[in-house]
Amino acid sequence: MEVVWQSIRPLLEPLVTPETLKLHPVRELNELCQKRSYNIIQEVVSRKDGVTRFKMEVEADGVIHQHEYTGSALQGTAKKIVCKEILNSLKEVRGAL
């Protein structure tokens, strides 16, 4: 069994473990907001003529972190981009979350 594992392992690299698994930015932000009692103040979504506008604000300890996306991406992708930027903003202010 060890010989088989040694031959298959290089094909599976890098192995995904709970420590290396990255969460989807939307899920990560939602879980962080629930855990730390941050408020998601506003989500604005509009799509007109193939352009998506998505804006979100998060209040964290009295500080508002916001980001807006305007572009051709669909709503789900726009939300992912906005959540990722807000997470980056929170990490800059709070250090590594």
pLDDT digits (tens, 9 = 90+) for 12-66: 888 778 888 888 999 999 999 999 999 998 888 898 999 999 999 999 988 999 9
CATH code, domain with 67: 3.30.160.100
* pLDDT, tens digit, 9 for 90 and up, residues 64-92: 999 999 999 999 999 999 999 999 999 88
Total-model pTM:
0.76
Residue 66: closest CA among 88, 84, 49, 86: 86
Domain count, the chain: 1
Tell whether 87 is covered by a domain: yes
60-76 exposure pattern, b = at least 16 Cβ within 10 A, e = fewer: beeeebebebeeeeeee
Q: What is the DSSP string of 71-84?
A: ESS-HHHHHHHHHH
Q: Is the dihedral of CA 72, 74, 58, 88 positive or negative?
A: negative
What are the two backbone dihedrals, phi and then psi, of residue 46, each rounded to the nearest 5 degrees? -145, 150
**In-domain check, residue 4:** no
Does residue 16 belong to any structural domain of this protein? no
In a domain, 13, yes or no: no
Structural domain range at position 63: 23-94
